[in-house]
Structure 1
Amino acid sequence: MFNLGELNSSNNLLLDYLKKQSPETLATVAQSVTPEAQQIINQNIQNLLGILPPPHFNVSITTDRENLAGLIGSAMMTGYFIRQMETRMQLDHSLSSVSSPE
């Protein structure tokens, strides 16, 4: 999935934590994301990278480790935010169905 061993984790608690996780744990977390959240995150990353439509353009992106780490961090924060909003939406739906039974 990710080769976290190559990144410098000085003063980065999240990166240290991720490095300690097994590949199986990371894969399980990645698979638990809903298709809707995957689509939002995918679109967000494409917007951050400035992806042009593939049928018309052949885009190649080059970056360094620090900028890639920033991009991954941004994607992780977006994923966390989306998951929290999904949880909130489910809670709102549950509460509205309890308060106004059909």
Structure 2
Amino acid sequence: MNQESNRSQNNIFNEQTNQSNGLWQYVQSLNPETIARLSQPESGEVFQVMEKNIIGLLGNLPGENFDISINTSRESLGKLLASAMISGYFLRNAEQRMQFEQQLEHSKE
């Protein structure tokens, strides 16, 4: 039964992967400069918030005093990555909205 369960889980994963291939193919078609630009936050504030969020998810032990090693499963690592990406998208949208509102205020003056 374990083998059947594993096969079923693998089939579900493969189906989900095939459904998301459009996005993956799009990302692969981007040139390296575009990917690098999209991967970097525009402001230091966003970077700091993302860093604090990930540290909060992983735990807050200072690396200089401890030899830290994190072991996790593929599924848990995927969830961590998804959480970080969602936070990043949210923060980027908030940053863009703030910039838009600031530009709108300046245009009224």
TM-score under structure 1 normalisation? 0.73
Which structure has the larger Rg over C-alpha atoms? 2
Task: Pick the aligned partner of 2:107 from 74, 93, 98.
Answer: 98
Task: Pick the aligned partner of 2:89 from 42, 65, 80.
Answer: 80
Q: Give 5+ residue unaligned stretches, structure 2.
A: 1-12
Matched, 1:10 2:10: no
Question: Which has more helix, going by share of residues?
Answer: 2
Q: Conserved in 2, the CA contact under 8 Å of 1:37 and 1:82?
A: yes
1: CA distance, partners of 2:71 / 2:92: 29
2: CA distance, partners of 1:62 / 1:80: 26
C-alpha deviation, 1:84, in angstroms? 0.5
Q: RCO higher in 1 or 2 (8 Å CA, sep ≥ 6)?
A: 2
C-alpha deviation, 1:92, in angstroms? 1.3
Q: Conserved in 2, the CA contact under 8 Å of 1:9 and 1:15?
A: no
1: CA distance, partners of 2:99 / 2:18: 30
Q: How does 1:16-55 map to 2 (within 5 A)?
A: 16-20=21-25, 21-22=27-28, 24=32, 25-31=34-40, 33-34=41-42, 35-55=44-64
Give identity over the alignment, percent.
Answer: 36
Compute the RMSD of aligned alpha carbons. 2.4
TM-score under structure 2 normalisation? 0.69
2: CA distance, partners of 1:14 / 1:41: 28
Aligned length: 92
Equivalence for 1:69:
78
